[in-house]
Amino acid sequence: MAKKSLIQREKKRQKLEQKYHLIRQSLKNKIRSKVSPLSLSEKTKMREKLQSLPRNSAPTRLHRRCFLTGRPRANYRDFGLSGHVLREMVYECLLPGATRSSW
């Protein structure tokens, strides 16, 4: 089980990312736009606005965690679970459609 403070930090990052998503996207689109050529000073102002946003609002800072344990590593996107939890659930036949291999 992950520390509760780390899980709460991740939830805070998710909220910040959702809050600033549209602002960040519009600033990036304005910088990249080829239709209206911006002068160099205008582009630097846009970049400064982009950099002034909170760091934790960047989507690259988000990290997937296991739904049950909060473990940050070895997560399967399809199930939202870490590897060892997934394996235990498959052995107990709790996941429909997933079968354990035997040879």
Same domain, 46 and 86: no
Total structural domains within the chain: 2
Q: In the beta sheet, which residues pair with residue 82?
A: 75
pLDDT in tens, 75-101: 999 889 999 899 999 988 888 888 777
Same domain, 11 and 52: yes
Residue 17: what pLDDT? 95
Residue 98: what pLDDT? 82
Same domain, 19 and 55: yes
Same domain, 69 and 91: yes
Residue 1: what pLDDT? 73
- Residues 83, 76: contact at Cβ < 8 Å? yes
- Residues 57, 14: contact at Cβ < 8 Å? no
Q: Which domain holds residue 13?
A: 1-62
pLDDT in tens, 17-70: 999 999 999 999 988 886 666 677 888 888 999 999 999 999 999 888 998 988
Same domain, 56 and 80: no
Same domain, 11 and 44: yes
